Amino acid sequence: MKIKQWLFMIVWWGILFFLPSVWAAERVEILSPNPVGSGARAMSMGGAFIAIADDAAAASWNPGGLIQLEKPEMSAAFGYVHRRENNTSEFSGNQSIQGSDLNYLSVAYPFELGEKRRNMVMSLNYQRLYDFNREWISTDKNTSKKYTQKGDLYALGLAYCIQVTKDFSTGVTLNYWGDSLFKNKWEQSYHYEYVYGKNNDKSITDGQGELYFKGWNMNIGFLFRIGEHWTMGGILKTPFTGSIWHTVIENRINVDSAGSTCCPDSSFQEGEQKLYMPLSYGIGLAYRFSDNFTISADIYQTQWNDFKLETTTGEKVSPITGKDTKSDSTTWFRLGAEYLIVGEKIAIPLRIGIFYDPAPAEGSPDNYYGFSLGSGISCKWFSFDVAYKFRFGNNVNRSMFDDTLTDFSQDVREHTVYMSFIYYF
């Protein structure tokens, strides 16, 4: 036991999002609109986890559920995503991107305090909330364009939960959006080639930009047991103002048909912007038929009309369109189920979920739907879970380039695999 406690303390001190991206430093495009949690178990149930929230990932889904942890534990989750986009207009055809990253990392410690020996839990959490990896390629007779974007946003969170009564607990997670284990930034690069004139001369433009993000916000949640079978949970994620520091370097050159170059030119821009992140909140219900079978359902809403980008000139625009437009709120519906096959020393879960996952757009939201499933193995000392999620949307992201490409839209197909490992001390 001493070795386990020593390892636990090393990990504890060692550790000590909706995906926005900026287009041309004035627009934030949302690829995955609702940053509502992590972990393979939650995702395999379609994200219907607010009223369950019984592992360390509760710091993101609902910190009020952390009180259900009985032992100190550390957890790690990883994700792999493959996203395919069938674009209309000049970015036509199928284009895709894939990658794997750390999804979640946490250490949690339950304890008792005070004369009444009240149950409490503290946890330290590192969560990947936004994915910026993207690529577009467009070619025609006289033009070639390539746009690449990569990076992630993580939040380092300190969570605290207290059991107020036998059936009611509440908790809060304080999140720092800044450089911690990884740089909290994303990068953009573009390469344009234009062929012109009788001699097929060429104009080439290369650009490279970096954008750093930081800010603070809180997740506030509760968990309430209603009788023997029902549980209710709630989560509120506070709005906050984040700062974006961006730098953009652009180089231009002309090349004639003989390969000679002329007229090199370059420019450098830098500045700070403010990103106003909106209020979001949700409520969930779970019904436990038995110790082996549970179903859960969540409703989650984000107030995207308050989502604003203040540019370097002081103008406030919609980060989705880059203009002074409004976006309706989105309401996400999720439904999940879990059945446990219990043996003498191990348990094998079977999970499934479905969800409606709208994304903010100019005016009414874009419609996304999906399903998930997963399984794993659990015993006295550890749990291992794996989940698969499929998310799709047709004729979406129409407002992404509506100022230059009036007929632009996408059909999106996204496949994600999550793996989580929890070790109990």
Q: What digits encode the pLDDT tens for the residues 245-302?
A: 888 899 988 888 777 888 888 888 888 889 898 999 999 999 999 999 999 999 999 9
Report whether pLDDT(29) > 50.
Answer: no
Which residue did the predictor score with more confidence, 110 or 26? Answer: 110
Q: What are phi and psi of 219, to 5 degrees?
A: -110, 125
> Environment class of residue 233 by beta-carbon count within 10 Å: exposed (0-12), middle (13-18) or buried (19+)?
buried
Which residue did the predictor score with more confidence, 250 or 410? Answer: 250
Q: Please answer whether residues 104 and 128 qualify as being in contact, where contact means their C-beta atoms are separated by less than 8 angstroms.
A: yes
pLDDT at 361: 82
Cα–Cα distance between 44 and 375 in angstroms, integer? 8
Q: Please answer whether residues 44 and 393 qualify as being in contact, where contact means their C-beta atoms are separated by less than 8 angstroms.
A: no
pLDDT at 17: 30
User: pLDDT tens digit string along 63-82?
Assistant: 999 999 999 999 999 999 89
Q: How confident is the model at residue 326 (pLDDT cuts 50, 70, 90)?
A: confident
Average pLDDT, integer, range 122-133:
87
pLDDT at 91: 57
Q: Where are the domains of the chain?
A: 2-424
* Ranges 316-325, 346-355, 396-405: which has the least confidence: 396-405
Cα–Cα distance between 110 and 118 in angstroms, integer? 11
Report whether pLDDT(135) > 50.
Answer: yes
What would the DSSP string read from start to end of 99-130? Answer: EEEEEEEEEEEEEEETTTTEEEEEEEEEEEEE
pLDDT at 47: 93
CATH of domain 2-424: 2.40.160.60
Whose tokens are 């009564």? That residue is: 165
pTM of the model: 0.84
Q: What is the mean pLDDT of the chain?
A: 84
Burial letters 353-385, b for 16+ CB under 10 A, else e: bbbebbbbbbeebbbbebebbbbbebeeeebeb
> Environment class of residue 147 by beta-carbon count within 10 Å: exposed (0-12), middle (13-18) or buried (19+)?
middle
What would the DSSP string read from start to end of 305-334? Answer: GG-EEE-TTS-EE-TTTSSS--B--EEEEE
Cα–Cα distance between 267 and 240 in angstroms, integer? 33
pLDDT at 90: 58
